[in-house]
Amino acid sequence: MTMLGAVFRPQLPPERLRPMARAADEAGLEQLWLWEDCFLESGIATAAAALAWTERLHVGVGLLPVPLRNVALAAMEIATLTRLFPGRATVAVGHGVQDWMAQVGARVESPVTLLREHLSALRALLRGETVTTAGRYVQLDGVALDWPPAAAPALFAGATGPRTLRLAGEAADGTVLTASTPPDGVRDARRLVAEGRAAGGRTGPHPIVAYLLAATGPGAAGRPAAERRSGLAAVPGTGVAGDAHEVAAGVRRWADAGADVVVLQPTPDEPDPEGFVRFVAEQVRPLVP
């Protein structure tokens, strides 16, 4: 079954999160995804709040930029979320937007090397291991969590380019794709992730999460196109607009291409964020297998 979710965009003020999370929970939406975009809102703080305000909603953070976060701190925060809200949180890590990383003095020469080292150390820490490593970027000396999770959570990676997609397959437990990924891009991503999984000897499930730009209601048809023109999702063939049947048909196209989780991403000018999540849960969900 295709899982369905929605995005709380950090362009909304933090105080809008509670009503949107509660609306999603009450409507039966499966997943709400949050972003840690510079310089808007923290992914971990918002995830903890959304989880505390809801009963059953699964919350995803997609993604934490690894140049901003020491791996030990990331492990502490993910472990805390996992112990407080078992089975209800998914966290993805990734390169971050390189211009933003340069802006804060955190840009590295080899983002792929950093992500590989970060994923390796982070997964080991979340398994409760004591980690000593002297990588190019990640350096730990006998570090272990005092409160590791009872079971290590799945750790996802955000990826776009071929090298990072292969790395996600090799070193992560799932992959998050941007809203600039059309159905053919999802197919290509699945192939590259599979190559990485084979190289790393990985078995078991590896979910693919795809963001899908979506709009409904008055003026819906023009809103995804306006966002694409702005450069936020500037790839032809991305985005859906219309009523529940049209949006569900779009979800099915991405699911048929290989997305296990389709997360509908409202446009920045969405006039009713709470209504959007109710629309996804109550009208689109019954039309998606």
**Average pLDDT for 187-200:** 98
At 80 the pLDDT is 98
Q: Using the 8-state DSSP alphabet, how is residue 116 labeled?
A: H
What confidence tier does 234 reach under pLDDT thresholds 50, 70, 90?
A: low
Arithmetic mean of pLDDT over the chain: 95
Distance of CA 29 to the CA centre of its chain: 16
User: What pLDDT score does 179 carry?
Assistant: 94
CATH code assigned at 147: 3.20.20.30
Domain tally, the chain: 1
Question: Looking at the predicted structure, is the pLDDT value of residue 284 above 60?
Answer: yes
- In tens, the pLDDT along 75-88 reads 999 999 999 999 99
- Summarize the confidence of residues 180-190 as an average pLDDT: 97
Residue 224, pLDDT above cutoff 90: no
* Range 135-142 average pLDDT: 98
Coil, helix or strand for 286?
helix
Where in the sequence is the domain holding 192, given as residue range(s)?
3-287
pLDDT tens for 25-45 read 999 999 999 999 999 999 999
Give CA–CA dist 239/247, Å, rounded: 9
Q: How far is CA 20 from CA 8, 15, 220, 254, 277, in A?
A: 8, 10, 20, 25, 7
In the three-class reduction of DSSP (H, G, I as helix; E, B as strand; rest coil), residue 24 is classed as helix
Portion of the chain with pLDDT greater than 70, in percent: 97
Q: Is the pLDDT of residue 236 over 80?
A: no
| pLDDT for position 229 | 63
The mean per-residue pLDDT over the stretch 62-77 comes to 98
Q: Is 62 helix (H, G, I), strand (E, B) or coil?
A: strand
Q: According to the model, what pLDDT value does residue 228 have? A: 64
Q: What is the band of 219 on the pLDDT scale with cuts at 50, 70, 90?
A: confident
Q: Is the pLDDT of residue 231 over 60?
A: no
Q: Looking at residue 200, what is its pLDDT?
A: 95
Interatomic CA distance for residues 187 and 169, integer angstroms: 14
What number is the average pLDDT over the span 20-28?
A: 98
Contacts of 155 (CB under 8 A, 6+ apart): 78, 91, 92, 93, 119, 122, 123, 126, 172, 173, 174
* pLDDT band for position 280 (cuts 50, 70, 90): very high
217 or 22, higher pLDDT: 22
Locate 171 and state its tokens: 């070193």
